[in-house]
């Protein structure tokens, strides 16, 4: 049985959840966390599409970013599925929440089953901090 995870996206205006992406296996930080970090690195959230910037690194708001992330991860049948916002309790061990705060893209990671402690936040920060955390997790 694989390590299941959910990745959620909050809109930038009122922190409402946009969509939930379910990953059937490899949902632990060393794989999904790293994959998510790698994709999000260098992304810039904008309001409107500027003419003189590299558009491949832009997302026109969090709903645009959510669609880009889903498109990036969903390449074949299986493993990744979309669920309506608010979906929980479908076997996930990790929940990754991607949000935009103080002009920075941030990620919060919850491990729902760690050392008999239910629902523990194991990381919450910007992408630079996430990279350091992932490096530390990989060396455990």
What's the pTM?
A: 0.93
Structure confidence at residue 68 (pLDDT): 97
DSSP of the chain, one letter per residue? ----EEEEEE-TTT--EEEEEEESS--SIIIIIHHHHHHHTT-EE-SS--TTS-GGGEESSHHHHHHHHHHHH--SSSSEEEE-TT---SS-SEEEEEEEETTEEEEEEEEEEETTEEEEEEEEEEHHHHHHHHHHHHT-
Q: Does residue 35 surpass a pLDDT of 90?
A: yes
* pLDDT (tens digit per residue) in 59-105: 999 999 999 999 999 999 999 999 999 999 999 999 999 999 999 99
Structure confidence at residue 116 (pLDDT): 61
Q: Between 6 and 53, where is the model more confident?
A: 6
């Amino acid at each position: 049985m694989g390590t299941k995870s959910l990745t959620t996206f909050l809109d930038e205006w009122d922190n409402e959840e946009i969509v939930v992406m379910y990953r059937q296996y490899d949902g632990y930080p060393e794989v999904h966390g790293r994959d998510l970090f790698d994709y999000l690195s260098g992304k810039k959230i904008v309001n409107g599409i500027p003419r003189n910037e590299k558009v491949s690194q832009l997302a026109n708001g969090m709903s645009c970013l959510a669609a880009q992330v889903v498109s990036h991860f969903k390449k074949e049948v299986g493993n990744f599925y979309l669920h309506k916002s608010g979906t929980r309790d479908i076997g996930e061990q990790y929940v990754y929440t991607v949000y935009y705060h103080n002009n920075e893209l941030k990620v919060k990671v919850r491990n729902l089953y760690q050392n008999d402690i239910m629902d523990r936040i194991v990381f919450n920060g910007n992408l630079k901090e996430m990279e350091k955390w992932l490096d530390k997790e990989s060396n455990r």
